[in-house]
Amino acid sequence: MPIPVRRRNSSKRAVKSDDGDSSLAAASASSLHCSIDDESLYVNLPNKTETIDDHVSGQPQAQPKGKSAGSMFRRGLSKSAVQLLSQDDQILSEILDVNVGSHEVNDSLEVNELEESIMNVNLSEERSREIGLVGNVNTSENYIEKIGDLQKQLAEKEEEMKHQRILFQKQIKLQQQKEQEYQDKIKSLEDELKSLKQDTIDIDATEQIHPNIDQEIVENARQNSLSPDSIARYSRQLLLSEGWGVKGQQKLLSSSVLVIGAGGIGSTVLLYLASSGIGNITVVDFDNVDMSNLHRQVIHTNDRVGMNKAESACLAMKKLNPTINCKTVTEMLTFENAMTLVQQHDCVVDACDNPQTRYLVNDACVLNHKPLISGSAMGVEGQLTVYGYKNSACYRCLYPKVNPTEGAKSCSDNGVLGPVPGLIGILQAIETLKVLTETGSTMHDRLLMYDSLRCSFMCIKKGKRRSNCAVCSPDPSIRNMEASKSVSSVARGPQQCGIIATSKIPQEWNKTCHEYYKVVKEGEKHLLLDVRVKRQYDLCSLKDSVNIELGNLNNHLDEIKTLSENGALPIFCLCRRGIASMEATKMLKEVIPWMKIYNIKGGLNAWKEEIDPSFPMY
């Protein structure tokens, strides 16, 4: 609404110049003279004075008939002044109608409206100054306060929208993962339905081809111990002699196998156990499929990256052989749940990658009198044997002393040639079939060692059970899993493959990736010491880093002193996960204690997660 105006007869006339001329043009060309009294704002014109009331009383003034206050107020002004005032009338009316207390911004459209309102108020003030108007002081303060409130609301809503956008993106990612899982399950069910429909079609076709044949007589005349599907599916191994055949297949169909690990070794073990007709398979793996797994863990696929490995493996097995039963355990195998899981199965396949799990699986199998088929692979070599079968030695008989540093390296540290764990897994599957069917000569009394570069297989004769073995001797010290835990927990376990170990050095020696980023950002001079092996360093590294392997630090102390300007520059030690760099920090602090030496917590993995998501992961 336009601002109310009233006309007053003024006794004032045009101001005369020194030479006595009275000129309306002279008064109009000068800036409008404004005076403020208690009620109104007066704009002096040559013949009449227009008044803008301070709408305190809220009562509109009577206007001459046929003429609005706005038109009377604008009489005598230039076209540009009249145009500016016309725009201001509308803008100020809109601003005065804004209810800041009840205004809520719900989306980006309302945020834009707030921004436009603030801009219009500022523009209105500028225009008012251009035409020489000075508003009521209290009203101006109200406008300023309203502008401040609008700006505050705008900032709060922008922050809220940013937070909601992040949450929305996370929800979308989770939804996509769930959708992929549902699609895989739907595909599996569709395959089963397709198979059932095909069986129905075959039956209907048989009845149509032989309409005069009494099916009951035919069925009574049929003698077979296996279903037609089993005979068709396993016919090639059913034709084998030496203990396989129908009886051997029946044993497999009724047996149950527990497989620990669905990684490189577990992949081929599971695929061949499923295709061979093991009736019940349980897969234990708490880890998720990663892109770096796919070159050797062939049971998983690219579209299942991020899925739990046990669930991914079960999907693959059901697609290969929908007639088997497959269960998944997506939690870690521990000293608390191992006994229950082992009790429920006929034999156990160890396809794990750490010594702690090997000890606990071995003890659970010995206490439950279950055979254990064990395999391992590292680099270009692999091993295979069978424990606890036909009174053979167990894992503790071969490795009685638990060494905290034993098996300290994994595939992610040393690397592995993809087909090597696959081959070991195939050999384990064969040993499992032989144990279940009691066929052939198993590896219970031998240890197989495979070298892929020389394509050599070497069998070593294993000794008998140790008379003083802690778990399988006549007088064992380990009679339950609590006792097993007390002596085995010091060995490297699955958790330690990915954790950040920072407890062995004082906390003040550690720096987070954000703290190191600040050093780089501010351009502080320092020495970044990358202690990874060269083949890892060649894959990816941070700019201006110096590569000296952890094992060679003592041989390069003089070089380190020179690079750090004899301790004047701080040294930041870096590796992939923050473990080797922690050892480097500790070592350097012992030999050159006066230097400022820090460990970057979490290493390059933490750098990727916290600072640079595009940094390569291996």
With H, G, I as helix, E, B as strand and everything else as coil, classify residue 43.
Answer: strand
The single-letter code of the amino acid at 81 is A
The Cβ of residue 369 has, within 10 Å, a number of other Cβ atoms equal to 8
**Could you give the count of Cα atoms lying within 13 Å of 459 in the half-sphere of its Cβ?**
8
With vertex at residue 490, the alpha carbon angle to CA 484 and CA 491, rounded to the nearest 5 degrees, is 90
Q: Is residue 513 annotated as a catalytic residue, yes or no?
A: no
- The span from the CA of 24 to the CA of 503, in Å, is 90
**Would you call 394 a catalytic residue per the annotation?**
no
Q: Which residue type sits at 224?
A: N
The span from the CA of 548 to the CA of 527, in Å, is 12
H or E stretch covering 599: strand 597-600
Please state, in angstroms and rounded to a whole number, the distance separating the CA atoms of residues 547 and 537: 7
- Extract long-range pairs of 239-242: CB within 8 Å, 24+ residues apart: 242/439, 242/440
Q: For residues 317 and 326, is the Cβ–Cβ distance under 8 A?
A: yes
Residues near 263 by beta carbon (within 8 Å), at least 6 away in sequence: 285, 287, 293, 296, 297, 309, 351, 353, 421
Q: Angle 418-420-423 (CA atoms, 0-180°, nearest 5)?
A: 115
- For residues 87 and 529, what is the distance between their CA atoms, to the nearest angstrom? 66
Q: Considering the candidates 314, 365, 573, 575, report the single residue annotated as catalytic.
A: 575
Contact status, residue 339 vs residue 364, Cβ threshold 8 Å = yes
The answer to whether 133 touches 51, Cβ cutoff 8 Å, is no
Query: Can you tell me the distance from the alpha carbon of 62 to that of 595, in angstroms, rounded to the nearest whole number?
Result: 88
Residue 138 DSSP SS3: helix
Distance CA 559, CA 566 (A): 10
Cβ contacts of residue 371 below 8 Å, gap of 6+? Answer: 347, 348, 365, 386, 387, 388, 389, 435, 444
- The answer to whether 89 and 70 are in contact (CB under 8 A) is yes
Q: Which of 314, 394, 411, 573 is catalytic?
A: 411
Tokens encoding 361: 């699986």
Active site residues: 411, 575
